Amino acid sequence: MDGEELTEQETALYDRQIRVWGADAQRRLSKSHILVCGVKGTVAEFCKNIVLAGVGSLTLVDDRVVTDEALFSSNFLIPPDENVYRGKMLAELCCDSLKDFNPMVRVSVEKGDVSGFDGEFFNKYDVVVVSCCSLVTKKSVNEKCRKLSKHIAFYTVDCRDSSGEIFVDLQDHIYSKKKLEETVECKLQYPSFEEAISVPWRALPRRVSKLYFAMRVIEKFEAEGRHPGDVSIADLPDVLRLKKELCEANSLNESHIPDALLERLVTGTREFPPVCAVIGGILGQEVIKAISGKGDPLKNFFFFDAVDGKGIIEDISISNPKSGS
Amino acid sequence: MASQNQLASIKGAKVLMVGAGGIGCELLKTLALSGFQDIHIIDMDTIEVSNLNRQFLFRKSHVGQSKAKVARDAVLRFRPHISITPYHANVKDPDFNVDFFKQFNVILNGLDNLDARRHVNRLCLAAEVPLVESGTTGFLGQVTVHVKGRTECYECQPKPAPKTYPVCTITSTPSKFVHCIVWAKDLLFTKLFGDKNQENDLNVRSTDATSSSEHVEDVFERRKDEDIEQYGRRIYDHVFGYNIEEALSNEETWKNRNRPKPIYSRDFLHDEIAQQNGNVDNAASDPSSVSAMASLGMKNPQDIWCLKENSRIFMEAFKLFFMKREKEIGNLTFDKDDQLAVEFVTAAANIRASSFGIPLHSLFEAKGIAGNIVHAVATTNAIIAGLIVIEAIKVLQNDTNKYRMTYCLEHPTRKMLLMPVEPFEANKSCYVCSESPLTLEINTHRAKLRDFVEKIVKAKLGMYFPLIMHGAALLYEVGDDLDEAMVANYAANLEKVLSELPSPVTSGTTVTVEDLKQELTCNINIKHREEFDEEKEPDGMLLSGWTQASSVEKDDNKSNGNGGSTSNASQAVPVEAEDNVEMDVPSGKKRRLSEISSQGLLSFTEETKNHGKLEVVDDDDDLVMLDGDPGLNKRKRMQ
Ligand SMILES: [Zn+2]
């Protein structure tokens, strides 16, 4: 077991967090490999959090070349110096900054488009996080991860304006938690992204967050020939038309997806930094829980909206009609 | 993204951040990204290695440097065109007075201790500047907004005082590991390496307590011609052997308790001498890196040592103090970052625990308990910092109806991990923001003015530059501009009992205490009382009207028949709240974080309107209400 022990250096650096999750969880973290695709403000926050926490490695994928301010307005990993960023890819720039946060974590870049990677590629990782990508890509990456015999924790994360969404798929997840001084083993079953979003709206539990519906409308709108995030106020009439269609198809009262909310989501294409911090923080926490197998992970959507200040968990699963069990 | 309106108010704002630690680093980053352009930041601390796992603006090469300054430089690298003004100073410094606070639009606290939070709260009230307050511990956190005249102030709800333990539990009848730690740290360590003149209850069990003080002193002094090994063994045998035998002779104490077992060094340390001396000589010469574990070849701080190992660490650490750090002896105070001190305290606490049949702990755990180290992770700090900025923007826009206090929970409550709650109205009996009078029960014939100043004015009211008046008579004040005669006069007053002061403070009179820096005045009605319960009222006085939650641990195995030791036993040993206490879990029953999820104190203003085809309730106007508090702390929602 000697090789398994944390080094003195690790114990000193991670002292405060080992007091939260224990040495065992810290060891698991240090052996985990994380992949993130699409590095905007929220993902930058997430990367900072898990690099500080001391994961084994972090791999970044984002080939977009930094051209204008829009790409780094909420990303503190990119130095706003044209001489530094010109011609460089987003992933490379972020990688350079992240390496600096914790020399014990290997941070690297993979080139290519996430939709082009095969199962073997994902097999190298324990956690896959995708962001700023299309509905089709989300589904296909999720499916590729699910086909592997190894349990990969899959997440999608997106922020628009002052609201954000996290989706979690841990497949069959076994973990332990403390209950009245005793450690008990628990098991959760997650649906895939495709399964979750296919749950008929009429079968959902009461009072599902409006953001869930609104995000599905935007996602669907963009899936019809747009790049992720490539919408503007000019699209609002079409988006509202799509909303009407979807509500009718699902027998959902249209008032559950307020027009004002959709308007906010199509106009606010930039992320709001405080919301990036909140969503990136929650996602970091969830990934740490998943890797360490300690504590209740959230199942399976999380929403935060700075307008009402609520951070809500929604369980959107087929096996879970109304009862909430 | 922020609206044009919001952007304008962000750009024009001048904000003060207090604290550049766990929350502070995250907050400074998020403020800069959000478009704030004029940020001032105060922090007196320097960077330590154990900060680096979450205070991401700092690197190993920065250890020892000012947090405020390094944080500024780090943020300017990704936002070079904003203005960040750092102050490497204590927020309680007189320079940061009411006028200083008045220049800001909002104050944002990322502090780690109660004293500074209370101080900032008072300055914000006096300067009439809104305050956004925050705290985190582990996965829990909270953000609150305090605006004079609109919401409660930070002190409207009394905060729990640092936990204290009755002295007899520590000296004679420990039942938990923490009792052994307090004994090892506050009594034994202090006795051997700290200020020799300090009152110390280490030998409280001695049979002849009144006449033995000289004899007691001798025991801990090194004798002439005694080598360190002999000296250490004699101390060991005295505190773990002889003292326990002495205690056992008091049959009364052990009637309903397990009898402790005396432990002597000869049982564990017979063959160590020659080998250890060799190791000591090889130890590093830099005093800060001296370690008993290193010289004994023990590496893992997570290991739980057996009694023999603890005994070896005890002796090794003892010797190393005398051989490598002799100059510091007499001036040492326990510091959680002092490796040798932590080793000594861990070993001593474990040996004592073993004697009393209490489970032993690793150095890592012992260090956490001895140093009051608060659990901290980066993610919670990042979330809380985001929430602070959201509230700060509302404050700048004067969006009063939208202010929220937000809890970050570990387990979801009503599906929520982040739970916003409406702020509460000011507590009308709050002496800080409502300046309502307090009542003090005190023995006016026995308590000295000094007791009043130390135990009430400083410890309870948190005033650092007090001025005490009785009618027109000035009894005491602190300041740089006092002449010698006044200083002498006040010094003399401190030693007088209340009823014999130049203007006698007796039952029914009112004393006015004022802190000029905080611009806070407080009237205290005095009520004479003859007797106080030594265990429940260890201060020998009782402040009410606004009370701090009592956190003196109940002596569940209350001892009696302590003979000469009872007078000492009345002073509870405080467990110091060090600077790393990052959050005060709110006291009032209503807001105990740990209870929110477990005891279902929440109820919602449920609007179960059914919107036709699907039962999805539009919860736009939903607010979480906390109620069900039957106590006196009933608070009203702010409207
Ligand atoms: Zn108040």
pLDDT at residue B272, as a whole number: 52
The CATH number given to whatever domain includes residue B71 is 3.40.50.720
B32 near A CB under 8 A: yes
> In percent, how much of chain B has pLDDT > 70?
79
Q: Are A221 and A214 in contact (CB under 8 A)?
A: no
- What's the rounded mean pLDDT across residues B429-441? 91
List, in order, residues 6 or more apart from B53 with CB less than 8 Å away: A13, A14, A15, A16, A17, A52, A53, A54, A102, B378
Is residue B594 scored above 50 in pLDDT? Answer: no
Pair of tokens at residue B200: 């110390």
Interaxial angle between packed helices A41-53 and A273-292, expressed in degrees from 0 to 180 and rounded to the nearest 10: 40
pLDDT at residue A56, as a whole number: 96
Single-letter amino acid code for the residue at B598: S
Ligand 1 midpoint to CA B154 (Å): 6
Q: Are A114 and A38 in contact (CB under 8 A)?
A: yes
- Per-residue confidence at B225, pLDDT binned at 50, 70, 90? confident
The verdict on a CB contact (< 8 Å) between A20 and B138 is yes
Single-letter amino acid code for the residue at B116: A
B617 near A CB under 8 A: yes
Highest mean pLDDT among A249-258, B282-291, B352-361, B588-597: B352-361
**Is B162 contained in some domain?**
no
On the 0-12 / 13-18 / 19+ scale of CB atoms within 10 A, B159 is middle
- Per-residue confidence at B551, pLDDT binned at 50, 70, 90? very low
Is residue A215 scored above 90 in pLDDT? Answer: yes
- Using DSSP, state whether B626 is helix, strand or coil: strand
Looking at the fold, whether A253 and A145 belong to one and the same domain comes out as: no
- Per-residue confidence at B286, pLDDT binned at 50, 70, 90? low
- Per-residue confidence at B624, pLDDT binned at 50, 70, 90? very low
Chain B residues touching residue A229 (CB < 8 angstroms): none
Looking at the fold, whether B100 and B244 belong to one and the same domain comes out as: no
Q: Looking at per-residue confidence, does B570 or B112 come out higher?
A: B112
Pair of tokens at residue B476: 């005491």
Looking at the fold, whether B201 and B348 belong to one and the same domain comes out as: yes
Ligand 1 midpoint to CA B434 (Å): 6
Q: Looking at per-residue confidence, does B208 or B592 come out higher?
A: B208
Q: Are B355 and B334 in contact (CB under 8 A)?
A: no
Tell me the nearest-neighbour CA distance from B472 into chain A, angstroms.
51
Distance CA B498, CA B494 (A): 9
B34 near A CB under 8 A: yes
Looking at the fold, whether A247 and A111 belong to one and the same domain comes out as: no
How many contacts, defined by CB atoms under 8 Å, are there between A and B? 198
What count of other Cβ atoms lies within 10 Å of the Cβ of residue B560? 9
Among A49, A258, A295, whose Cβ lies nearest the Cβ of B382? Answer: A49
**Which of B544, B579, B598 lies at the terminal end of a domain, its last residue?**
B544
- What's the rounded mean pLDDT across residues B411-426? 91
pLDDT at residue A319, as a whole number: 60
pLDDT at residue A4, as a whole number: 67
| Parent domain of B529 | 438-544
List, in order, residues 6 or more apart from B231 with CB less than 8 Å away: B222, B223, B322
Among B52, B301, B620, whose Cβ lies nearest the Cβ of A13? Answer: B52
**Is B414 contained in some domain?**
yes
The CATH number given to whatever domain includes residue A292 is 3.40.50.720
Angle made by CA atoms A75, A81, A82, in degrees to the nearest 5 = 110
pLDDT at residue B584, as a whole number: 34
Nearest to A298 by CA among B410, B421, B596: B410
Looking at the fold, whether B363 and B399 belong to one and the same domain comes out as: no
Q: Per-residue pLDDT tens for A179-201?
A: 877 889 999 999 999 999 999 99
pLDDT at residue B201, as a whole number: 73
Residue ranges with strand state E in A90-190:
106-109, 127-131, 153-160, 163-169, 172-179, 182-189
State the sign of the Cα–Cα–Cα–Cα dihedral B266, B271, B274, B275.
negative
**Which of B370, B386, B406 lies at the terminal end of a domain, its last residue?**
B370
Highest mean pLDDT among A177-186, B1-10, B159-168, B602-611: A177-186
Looking at the fold, whether B280 and B262 belong to one and the same domain comes out as: yes
For B608, name the nearest residue in chain A, comparing CA atoms only: A207
- Using DSSP, state whether B495 is helix, strand or coil: coil
**Which of B510, B544, B578 lies at the terminal end of a domain, its last residue?**
B544
- Per-residue confidence at A306, pLDDT binned at 50, 70, 90? very high
Q: Looking at per-residue confidence, does A224 or A30 come out higher?
A: A30
Looking at the fold, whether A75 and A148 belong to one and the same domain comes out as: yes
Is residue A305 scored above 70 in pLDDT? Answer: yes
Is residue A135 scored above 50 in pLDDT? Answer: yes
Looking at the fold, whether A101 and A15 belong to one and the same domain comes out as: yes
Looking at the fold, whether A17 and A158 belong to one and the same domain comes out as: yes
**Is B246 contained in some domain?**
yes
pLDDT at residue A293, as a whole number: 93
Nearest to B263 by CA among B343, B351, B204: B351
Is residue B487 scored above 70 in pLDDT? Answer: yes
B382 near A CB under 8 A: yes
Looking at the fold, whether A249 and A135 belong to one and the same domain comes out as: no
- Per-residue confidence at B506, pLDDT binned at 50, 70, 90? very high
Look at B36-40, B375-379, B443-447 and tell me which has the smallest mean pLDDT: B375-379
Chain B residues touching residue A181 (CB < 8 angstroms): none
Looking at the fold, whether B479 and B504 belong to one and the same domain comes out as: yes
Chain A residues touching residue B29 (CB < 8 angstroms): 76, 277
φ/ψ of residue B439, rounded to 5: -120, 135
Is residue B65 scored above 90 in pLDDT? Answer: yes
Q: Per-residue pLDDT tens for B263-280?
A: 999 887 765 554 444 444
- What's the rounded mean pLDDT across residues B237-256? 90
Q: What total of structural domains would you count in chain B?
A: 3
Is residue B295 scored above 80 in pLDDT? Answer: yes
**Is A263 contained in some domain?**
yes
Q: Per-residue pLDDT tens for B562-593?
A: 333 333 333 333 333 222 323 333 333 333 33
Look at A22-36, A157-171, B213-227, B304-318 and tell me which has the smallest mean pLDDT: B213-227
Is residue B446 scored above 70 in pLDDT? Answer: yes
Pair of tokens at residue B541: 């006085």
φ/ψ of residue B592, rounded to 5: -65, 115
The CATH number given to whatever domain includes residue B230 is 1.10.10.520
Q: Per-residue pLDDT tens for B513-534?
A: 999 889 999 999 999 999 998 7
The verdict on a CB contact (< 8 Å) between A13 and B377 is no
CA dihedral A276, A277, A279, A283 (to 10 degrees): 120
For A80, name the nearest residue in chain B, comparing CA atoms only: B78
Q: Are A120 and A133 in contact (CB under 8 A)?
A: no
| Parent domain of A206 | 199-267
Look at B180-189, B226-235, B371-380 and tell me which has the smallest mean pLDDT: B371-380
**Is A58 contained in some domain?**
yes
- What's the rounded mean pLDDT across residues A104-125? 95
pLDDT at residue B287, as a whole number: 65
φ/ψ of residue B630, rounded to 5: -80, -10
C-alpha dist (Å) from residue B278 to A315, B203, B281, B315, B319: 64, 34, 5, 14, 12
Among A19, A204, A270, whose Cβ lies nearest the Cβ of B368? Answer: A19
Nearest to B364 by CA among B298, B312, B320, B307: B298
Is residue B220 scored above 90 in pLDDT? Answer: no
Distance CA B9, CA B3 (A): 10
CA dihedral A58, A64, A69, A72 (to 10 degrees): -10
Cis, bond preceding B243 (omega within 30 deg of 0): no
Is residue B289 scored above 90 in pLDDT? Answer: no
Tell the residue number behind the tokens 């007088």, with chain if given: B496
The reported pTM is: 0.85
Looking at the fold, whether A127 and A229 belong to one and the same domain comes out as: no
Considering only residues 271 to 330 of chain B, which have any Cβ-Cβ distance to chain A shorter than 8 Å?
A: 299-302
B404 near A CB under 8 A: yes
Bridge-based pairing state of the strands A57-61 and A106-109: parallel
Mean pLDDT of chain B: 81
**Is A316 contained in some domain?**
no
Among A4, A5, A69, A76, the residue to mutate for chain B (most B Cβ within 10 A): A76
Looking at the fold, whether A68 and A122 belong to one and the same domain comes out as: yes
ipTM over 0.90: yes
pLDDT at residue B288, as a whole number: 67
Q: Per-residue pLDDT tens for B127-156?
A: 999 999 999 988 899 999 999 999 999 999
Looking at the fold, whether B150 and B184 belong to one and the same domain comes out as: no
Chain A residues touching residue B619 (CB < 8 angstroms): 207
Looking at the fold, whether B406 and B486 belong to one and the same domain comes out as: no
Looking at the fold, whether B54 and B14 belong to one and the same domain comes out as: yes
Tell me the nearest-neighbour CA distance from A182 into chain B, angstroms.
16
List, in order, residues 6 or more apart from B199 with CB less than 8 Å away: none
The CATH number given to whatever domain includes residue B521 is 3.10.290.20
Looking at the fold, whether B407 and B528 belong to one and the same domain comes out as: no
Helix, strand and coil percent figures for chain A, each rounded to 5: 45, 20, 35
- What's the rounded mean pLDDT across residues A103-119? 94
Looking at the fold, whether B213 and B327 belong to one and the same domain comes out as: yes
pLDDT at residue B161, as a whole number: 64
Q: Looking at per-residue confidence, does B618 or A257 come out higher?
A: A257
- What's the rounded mean pLDDT across residues B491-508? 94
pLDDT at residue B372, as a whole number: 85
Q: What total of structural domains would you count in chain A?
A: 2
Pair of tokens at residue B42: 């105060």
Ligand 1 midpoint to CA A308 (Å): 26
Distance CA B606, CA B504 (A): 58
Chain A residues touching residue B417 (CB < 8 angstroms): 282, 298, 302, 311-313
Looking at the fold, whether A127 and A240 belong to one and the same domain comes out as: no
The DSSP code sequence of A25-61 is HHHHHHT-EEEEE--SHHHHHHHHHHHHHT-SEEEEE
Q: Are B334 and B573 in contact (CB under 8 A)?
A: no
- Per-residue confidence at B635, pLDDT binned at 50, 70, 90? very low
Looking at the fold, whether A160 and A285 belong to one and the same domain comes out as: yes
- What's the rounded mean pLDDT across residues B468-489? 90
Looking at the fold, whether B324 and B400 belong to one and the same domain comes out as: no
List, in order, residues 6 or more apart from B61 with CB less than 8 Å away: none
Considering only residues 113 to 142 of chain B, which have any Cβ-Cβ distance to chain A shorter than 8 Å?
A: 138-139
Q: Looking at per-residue confidence, does A70 or A223 come out higher?
A: A223
Tell me the nearest-neighbour CA distance from A55 into chain B, angstroms.
12
pLDDT at residue A229, as a whole number: 82
Look at A304-318, B13-27, B244-258 and tell me which has the smallest mean pLDDT: B244-258
Chain B residues touching residue A21 (CB < 8 angstroms): 377
Ligand 1 midpoint to CA B436 (Å): 10
- Per-residue confidence at B597, pLDDT binned at 50, 70, 90? very low
Looking at the fold, whether A210 and A302 belong to one and the same domain comes out as: no
**Is A317 contained in some domain?**
no
Looking at the fold, whether A77 and A185 belong to one and the same domain comes out as: yes
Looking at the fold, whether B31 and B111 belong to one and the same domain comes out as: yes
Q: Are B270 and B327 in contact (CB under 8 A)?
A: no
**Is A1 contained in some domain?**
no
Please identify every residue of B annotated as catalytic. 168
Q: Are A34 and A57 in contact (CB under 8 A)?
A: yes
- Per-residue confidence at A84, pLDDT binned at 50, 70, 90? confident
pLDDT at residue B218, as a whole number: 66
B26 near A CB under 8 A: yes
Q: Looking at per-residue confidence, does A30 or B629 come out higher?
A: A30
**Is B185 contained in some domain?**
yes
